[in-house]
Structure formats: C-alpha cells, structure tokens
Structure 1
Amino acid sequence: MINIVFYLIAYFLAALPFGLVLARLFAKVDIRSAGSGSIGATNVLRVVKESNPALAKKLSIATIALDALKGLVPLVVAKYYFGLGDSVLWTMAVLAVIGHCFSPYLL
C-alpha cells in the first residue's frame, strides 16, 4: 500500500507546473499565451524578460530548480526514510516524468 501512495505522490508532485505558477504569481503573466506557449523555464525567461529582465532570470532559475527538486525529493524520501526498493524508485521516477510531461493540472 505504501508503494501506491508514493507512486501517487511522485506523479502529482511532478505534475506541478512551476513555470506557470511562478510567472503568474510574481510577473502576473500567463506564459501559455505568449512566447512558445510552453510552461518551462525557457519560456518563462522569454516572456517575463519583456517586462522585467531581472525578474525573468530569477524566475527561470527557480523554475529549473523546482522542476528538478519535484522529481528528486520524493525519491530521496522514499529511499532514505522509508527504505523502498529500486523497483519502486524506478516506477516513481517514470511516473514523475509522465506527470511532468502530462500534467493533469493543465487540463
């Protein structure tokens, strides 16, 4: 049962669109409607740079860091605090990639 909980955590945490959230929260722009339309760090930089270049760099770096951490943190917690095995960790990693690429929060 604990495996299923961690699978869900890995998927739904990785699905968080940090680029979209940060740009909307701090720069008050919807990056999906400008630039390439992507929610990634490059489009955050591209779109926010038009109105605030200094903020654009900070938000794009924060997007990269948070995107990396949302995949890493659940794996570290599962391995070192709960002692889950490699097969569970690999499944979590795959689900994190799927969640990142196909976010249910963007529907």
Structure 2
Amino acid sequence: VLMLLIGILGYLLDHYLLRPLALTSLRLFVFLPVTVLLIHPLLRVLCRQLPKLPFDGLWPLLLGNAGVLGVVLLGTQDDKGLAHMAALSLGAGLGFWLVLSLFSDLRQRIADNDIPLPFR
C-alpha cells in the first residue's frame, strides 16, 4: 500500500510539477520528504484498521527503506505513464512483503526447532 501510494503520488508530482518547471534534478529532495510524511499517517490508519497485526517495529523499517524511494526514482526516470508506475510500485511492494514474510517464517522455524546455537 505504501509503495503504491508513494509511487503514484511521486509520478504525479514529477509529471505535473517537476518536469514543467525543469526541476527534475531535484527529484530526490522532493520524493524523500513525501515518503517520510506519508509513512506515519499510513501506519496509523493500518493500526486502526488491523489492530491484531503487530506494527510496532515497522516505523524504523519503513523509514529507512530505500526501496520505497528507489521505486519512485526508477518509475519517474522514463515517463512511461501512470499505469506503469502503479504496476512497478505494486510489484515492488508485493516483493518486499514476500521477503518479509519469508524471513519471518524462517525466524519462527529457527526458534521452534532444536538448532545448535552457533547456526542460529
């Protein structure tokens, strides 16, 4: 959800604000504050909507996530349209979710099984 929202908003900012004013060299300085400003409200909404899921450690993880910023920068590099940006953002978000799920499952399996301490 975060990557999709930031991707679409970043594309709109780039297409309608930065390109007409010839300020494309300032993309990083525009997209970074937008990313930071959208993370906190989105986490609050998700905490209210899904109270059973743990969102405690996600703030630093998402704040330091260079993938969010990278998706916006890659998607706005070549103006291929809003649909391309939405697909790129959605795919990156799903890939990030998959990696987090796999690592969470791996940590759970390591904690549940009798694995020697040096291999944990």
TM-score by length of 1: 0.40
TM-score (norm 2): 0.36
Higher-Rg structure is 2
